[in-house]
Amino acid sequence: MPEYTLDHHLEGERQRLALMSRLLDPMHRRHIERLGLRPGARTLEVGCGNGSMSAWLAGRVTPGGRAVAVDLDLSLADADAPGLEFRQGDILAGPVEPGGFDLVTARAVLHHVADRPAAVANLVASAAPGGSILLIEPDFLPVSVAEPPQVREFWQGWLAWSREQGIDYFVGRRLPAMLAGRGVRDVGGTAETALYNGGSAWAEYWRQTVAELRPRLVASGKLDDRSIGAFLAQCADPAWWTQTIAFTAVAGHVPGG
């Protein structure tokens, strides 16, 4: 099985995926509603995690539709709904049912994938002629102005470590050109950034993630205990407000149809 840095066997991964569902599903659903989805449609979500979005999609396409949810690792896929079908698979292996879906979507997946152009090509090739594609990925632009300076320093170390792991935390801004380059039409998008404070759900997401990866981060030499400690202290302080990720949502239509 190909490697994925925050893999499902990290202790807190189930809880992190649940937090992502809670924090990101409302935005994801809003973008899909804007694209339009009718009963009877066939949807594909790649990198479905716990499957919360695909369960919602299954509800939106009933009666007569189907929602296929693909992930490298389905061990944390715990959603259930009529018309929802989980499939273990790697998007780098090829399109999922070429031309088979009216909507193809992936969220917070491409930044982890080794060959991003191949993944985008396979996602586009999975959409039916005239079908929609919606990608949502992070762009860490806001951390460049994070306060106080110790937090900015922490993110710099985090980004250096991530690059070494093959993660592209700036892929958000590259999505429009990637889709247009595959012939997708009407490409457009927006980015939105949560403002959060210490003790909030987002702060808890980062606290859990960083605490669990702490030994690996320190061993990499990209971050030291002092910098990690300073960041974790901010995450517990309700008076600290910050921004981290610009979630970039880009959509378009596949030619034909």
Ligand X SMILES: C[S@@+](CC[C@H](N)C(=O)[O-])C[C@H]1O[C@@H](n2cnc3c(N)ncnc32)[C@H](O)[C@@H]1O
Would you tell me which residues interact with ligand X (CB under 6 A)? Answer: 2, 4, 17, 20-21, 24, 46-49, 70-73, 90-92, 107-109, 112-113
> What values do phi and psi take at 178, rounded to 5?
-65, -40
* CA distances, 43 to each of 54, 70, 135, 219, 224 (Å): 8, 11, 13, 42, 44
Nearer to ligand X, 32 or 227 (CB): 32
* CA distances, 93 to each of 66, 69, 137, 184 (Å): 22, 15, 21, 21
Nearer to ligand X, 111 or 240 (CB): 111
Length of the chain counted residue by residue:
257
Candidates 71, 76, 78, 38; CA nearest to 55 is 78
Nearer to ligand X, 126 or 234 (CB): 126
Distance of alpha carbon 87 from alpha carbon 73, whole angstroms: 9
Nearer to ligand X, 8 or 66 (CB): 8
**Residue 74 C-beta: closest distance to ligand X, Å:** 9
**Residue 53 C-beta: closest distance to ligand X, Å:** 7
Nearer to ligand X, 194 or 230 (CB): 194
Other CB atoms within a 10 A radius of the CB of residue 134 amount to 22
**Residue 136 C-beta: closest distance to ligand X, Å:** 8
Other CB atoms within a 10 A radius of the CB of residue 80 amount to 10
- Alpha-helical (H) ranges within 36-138 are 52-61, 116-126
**Residue 162 C-beta: closest distance to ligand X, Å:** 13
**Residue 158 C-beta: closest distance to ligand X, Å:** 15
Nearer to ligand X, 114 or 233 (CB): 114
Nearer to ligand X, 46 or 235 (CB): 46
Buried b (16+ CB within 10 A) or exposed e, 173-212: ebbbebbeebebeebebebeebebebebebbbbbbbbbeb
- Reading the block at residue 124, the tokens are 């586009």
**Residue 80 C-beta: closest distance to ligand X, Å:** 17
**Residue 189 C-beta: closest distance to ligand X, Å:** 17
